[in-house]
Structure 1
Amino acid sequence: MVLKRCRPCFSLLACAFGPASPNAPATARLTNPADLTKFRKGKEQLLEKQVAQLAAAYINVVVVWGEIDEKTLTHADKYGIMVIQVNSRREMVYLSAVLGTPLMPYLLPPLEPGKCQRVYGQELVQGLAVVFEWECPGTPALTLVLRGATTEGLRGAEQAAYHGIDAYFQLCQDPRLLPGAGATEMALAKMLRERGTKLGGPSGPTFLAFAQALQSLPETLAENAGLGVSEVMAEMNGAHQAGNFLTGVGVEGIINVAQEEVWDILIAKAQGLRTVADVVLQLLTVDEIVVAKKSPTHQQGLNPDPKKAKEQASPIGKKSPWGQ
């Protein structure tokens, strides 16, 4: 079923699409067969009336988190209402936020129904997916379909997608970039090392230690790539000493990050450096570290010496000095 002619209007139901509490205990007092027939017809008329209220509110798509009654589904088909069943509350909450309509605890139309351009079903490899489509520029949601041969590959692709979305969000806040592949850390280490050699007192060793810590990142990249760490670091030091601050570590050796288009986000890099500096300052303000040690427990021997056991006087065998 595809809704194209009229714009889909949604109602999200966090209840069963049918009679309210069908498994609840109830006692119907019936005296004759006519009362039974009237009771059944009244129940069906109530369900049809509730579905008619949805249609009167221009609701043509109902998303249900619960059971779907067959008779109520027949009434929905009669009024041209598309019924979609969702098995996860998380998906319902997500649809409520995207469509801009609240979750209804009863079979009633919402005050503000959700809207989109088109709703249709699309077959995937393992089943059928329901697609909510927006054709306007400001699309409130986006779905990525990832496919892979193994579960580990799919997890890696999903993690990469999350990282890409996070990077795009950070670039929307600050579009500035920095050279990646360890080039920025190497350039900062060079500047701090030059400054630290000129300073005296405790400031000089502090700058040198910070420079050495920053230099550990390109060393780690070279080690993870299976390269010779000493050779790669020697080449990087020579390039940065010559003023080529765009030299980084690649898979096969040193690379030009501008040509390879390897960049880091400025806001993420700055936040990481601030966090590291704050942690170092907190550690330096600690005067003493108190370590609580447990006292050693003396274990008694499992097989004591029988001679020593006999020599120990038993409190029961001792005589009282008063002769009792």
Structure 2
Amino acid sequence: MAKSMALNSAAGLAGMLKAGHKHMEGVDGATLRNVEAAKGLAGIVCTSLGPNGMNKLVINHLEKIIVTSDCATIVKELEIQHPAAKMLELAAEMQEQECGDATNLTVSFAGELLKMCEDLLRMGLHTSEIVMGYKRAYEFLEKALPTLVTETVKDCRDVKEMIRIVTPVLAAKQFGFESVLAPLVVSACQGTFSSNGRAAVNSDSVRIAKIMGGNVSQSEVIQGMVIMRGTEGSIQHKDAAKISVFACGLEASATEAKGTVLMKNADDLMSYNKSEEKKMDEIIKAIADTGTKVVISGGTVSEMAMHFIERYGMMCVKIVSKWELRRICSATGSTALVRLGPATAEEMGFCDEVNVREIGGRKVVIFAQKDNAKDGCRVATILLRASTESVLNDLERAVDDGVNCIRTCCSNGALVPGAGATEMELSHRIKAFGDTCPGLDQYAIRSFAKALEFVPRTLAENSGQEPTDILAALTAAHANGNASAGVDITGEGNGVRDAGKDIVDLLHTKDSAFRLAVDAAITVLRVDQIIMSKPAGGGKLGI
């Protein structure tokens, strides 16, 4: 105790903390270092914003090559170590969970806010004044954003309307393929709607199966499940099939205790084998007598069991993944049994058609439900085709974003103009608001407004246009009251177009992205000291 109380006051903080710690404080030591790290991360992902955004080639610690423009995937695979940049990664992760889209907007806007505050700090403003200005600007943004709503989706079952909404989301990730992917995403999502009640989508209900070969236009939607393997037996097609699902293997159960069987003659050996065959025959016959046409096993299927399944004319499918087993139960209305025996009527499922197809040289089992199935199909699968694995994976990420867009639209269908029009209008209004504010925080409010201009500026840069000219044209358009003027990435019409009808974004997604970006930026900005203990195991932590 006496030793621990022997504090050397002359040593200062170093005398209080253990040897090997790191400590940084002040504007130059902590704040600007954090800002620099956040700017670095935002600089990486901002070039991937929009339809003409560039891809990043990331090689992770497992030497897996990932080629994508999806911000959530990029920041996840980068394995960020700096705690300030980690804040932005967490904001992007939360945006991905909540809305499934606009992660790039979250990270880039947070980085832009911190980039703006760097100039304010060098001007002599205190951090608290910048934070106060950003908070006031965000409060104004929250009130102004709902006033920019151009329309609200009333019927999520309208196919044309939903295709129009999901197309900009898919175009931002897979520009050129949005006209092919949008109808597939809408068809799959609407296939999971119940026939009565409010339309709603569960992201887990829309599955994605990837088969290499062919091209994207050969992709299709299957109302039901696709199992990426063939059947165990020779029977490959069943219509109007009753289904029994077993979570256990189809084999003779082994006892826990070891036993020894004493056989005195050849008759004992013959009768021992026959008794096992007879028992298995009874079990499989009992399953067949229930009307079962398809047997699904979550474990091993023994040769003896397979012999009797074939004898009674049943199809056998083996599913090794317990998650797929749960989904097949959901798609067919089955209950997975942990006992080997006949299922009751309530435990059995039903499927309109079960058949084996060969796609791209690979055999798959398709559990398809008719379009007029009662209450819709619980699971729908989008079968994606492409030439390489990297393209398939990026298509999957784009489809995921599209599904999440429809999920969000079902809960909140308010739409705002896209193509940078919403950000430009908010910037115009917040600038005017800043001019009416006395005090030093007006500089921070103006910087907040200027940070919002990064969206149209980046869209113009990524499409190869002159950002200064585009911003000037947009500023003039919004000053004249055209709130839906956005960037035309094709370069026609001086690079400005009316985005009110064609290119729309969901209000909820935008609102969530702005909220998380501002929270992350303010959290990073309020840090004035970084204190790190010595890493365990002698590892290095560079800041």
Which category of TM-score, normalised to the shorter sequence, fits these structures? 0.7 to 0.9
Given that 1:227 and 1:252 are in contact with CA atoms closer than 8 Å, whether structure 2 keeps it comes out as no
Residue 442 of structure 2 aligns with an amino acid whose one-letter code is G
Residue 183 of structure 1 aligns with an amino acid whose one-letter code is A
Work out the CA distance in 1 between the residues paired with 2:401 and 2:498: 20
Q: Which runs of 5+ in 1 are unaligned?
A: 296-324
Q: Residue 271 of structure 1: SS of its match in structure 2?
A: helix
Query: Which residue in the other structure is 1:300 paired with?
Result: none
The offset of 1:41, in angstroms, is: 0.8
Work out the CA distance in 2 between the residues paired with 1:58 and 1:221: 60
Query: Which residue in the other structure is 1:221 paired with?
Result: 459
Residue 278 of structure 1 aligns with an amino acid whose one-letter code is D
Query: Which residue in the other structure is 2:105 paired with?
Result: none
Work out the CA distance in 2 between the residues paired with 1:69 and 1:293: 58
What TM-score results when the alignment is normalised by the length of structure 1? 0.81
Work out the CA distance in 2 between the residues paired with 1:169 and 1:24: 52
Q: 1:129 to 1:23 in 2, by over 3 A?
A: farther
Residue 143 of structure 1 aligns with an amino acid whose one-letter code is T
Query: Which residue in the other structure is 1:232 paired with?
Result: 470
The offset of 1:25, in angstroms, is: 5.8
Query: Which residue in the other structure is 1:176 paired with?
Result: 414
Q: Residue 226 of structure 1: SS of its match in structure 2?
A: coil
Query: Which residue in the other structure is 1:270 paired with?
Result: 511
The offset of 1:207, in angstroms, is: 2.3
The offset of 1:222, in angstroms, is: 1.6
Given that 1:257 and 1:263 are in contact with CA atoms closer than 8 Å, whether structure 2 keeps it comes out as no
Q: 1:146 to 1:255 in 2, by over 3 A?
A: farther
Query: Which residue in the other structure is 1:321 paired with?
Result: none
Matched, 1:123 2:361: no
Given that 2:353 and 2:367 are in contact with CA atoms closer than 8 Å, whether structure 1 keeps it comes out as yes
The offset of 1:26, in angstroms, is: 4.7
Alignment of 1:291-302 (within 5 A): 291-292=530-531
The offset of 1:188, in angstroms, is: 0.3
Residue of structure 2 aligned with 1:205, choices 443, 446, 456 = 443
Matched, 1:245 2:483: yes
Work out the CA distance in 2 between the residues paired with 1:177 and 1:147: 31
Q: Residue 8 of structure 1: SS of its match in structure 2?
A: strand
The offset of 1:203, in angstroms, is: 4.4
The offset of 1:73, in angstroms, is: 1.6
Q: Residue 122 of structure 1: SS of its match in structure 2?
A: strand
Deviates more, 1:179-188 or 1:12-21: 12-21
The offset of 1:15, in angstroms, is: 2.7
Query: Which residue in the other structure is 2:317 paired with?
Result: 84
The offset of 1:89, in angstroms, is: 3.0
The offset of 1:50, in angstroms, is: 0.9
Q: 1:98 to 1:62 in 2, by over 3 A?
A: same
CA offsets per residue over residues 68-108 of structure 1, 9 Å max, x none? 22222221122222111223333212213333333323322
Work out the CA distance in 2 between the residues paired with 1:26 and 1:250: 78
Residue of structure 2 aligned with 1:113, choices 335, 342, 348 = 348
What TM-score results when the alignment is normalised by the length of structure 2? 0.50
Q: 1:132 to 1:153 in 2, by over 3 A?
A: same
Deviates more, 1:199-208 or 1:175-184: 199-208
Matched, 1:57 2:290: yes
Matched, 1:290 2:515: no
Query: Which residue in the other structure is 2:396 paired with?
Result: 158
Q: Which runs of 5+ in 2 are unaligned?
A: 1-235, 535-543
Matched, 1:145 2:386: no
Given that 1:181 and 1:262 are in contact with CA atoms closer than 8 Å, whether structure 2 keeps it comes out as yes
Q: 1:24 to 1:61 in 2, by over 3 A?
A: farther
Given that 2:470 and 2:496 are in contact with CA atoms closer than 8 Å, whether structure 1 keeps it comes out as no
Instruction: Give aligned-pair identity as a percent.
Output: 27
Work out the CA distance in 1 between the residues paired with 2:497 and 2:506: 17
Query: Which residue in the other structure is 1:133 paired with?
Result: 368
Work out the CA distance in 2 between the residues paired with 1:293 and 1:133: 57
- Which protein has the larger Cα radius of gyration, Structure 1 or Structure 2? 1
Query: Which residue in the other structure is 1:33 paired with?
Result: 266
Given that 2:474 and 2:496 are in contact with CA atoms closer than 8 Å, whether structure 1 keeps it comes out as no
Q: Residue 250 of structure 2: SS of its match in structure 1?
A: coil
Given that 1:55 and 1:81 are in contact with CA atoms closer than 8 Å, whether structure 2 keeps it comes out as yes
Residue 45 of structure 1 aligns with an amino acid whose one-letter code is K
Work out the CA distance in 2 between the residues paired with 1:166 and 1:257: 26
Deviates more, 1:212-221 or 1:252-261: 252-261
Query: Which residue in the other structure is 1:316 paired with?
Result: none
The offset of 1:240, in angstroms, is: 1.1
- The CA RMSD over aligned residues, in Å, is 2.6
Query: Which residue in the other structure is 2:237 paired with?
Result: 2
Q: 1:224 to 1:25 in 2, by over 3 A?
A: farther
Deviates more, 1:188-197 or 1:105-114: 105-114
Query: Which residue in the other structure is 1:167 paired with?
Result: 405
Work out the CA distance in 2 between the residues paired with 1:225 and 1:85: 49
Given that 1:65 and 1:92 are in contact with CA atoms closer than 8 Å, whether structure 2 keeps it comes out as yes
Matched, 1:69 2:302: yes
Residue 529 of structure 2 aligns with an amino acid whose one-letter code is V
Aligned residues: 291
Work out the CA distance in 1 between the residues paired with 2:290 and 2:453: 65
Work out the CA distance in 1 between the residues paired with 2:338 and 2:532: 58
By percentage of residues, which structure has more helix?
2
Using CA pairs under 8 Å that are at least 6 residues apart, name the structure with larger relative contact order, 1 or 2: 2
Q: Residue 342 of structure 2: SS of its match in structure 1?
A: coil
Given that 1:17 and 1:72 are in contact with CA atoms closer than 8 Å, whether structure 2 keeps it comes out as yes
The offset of 1:245, in angstroms, is: 1.8
CA offsets per residue over residues 89-142 of structure 1, 9 Å max, x none? 332122133333333233223441122222112221122221111121611111
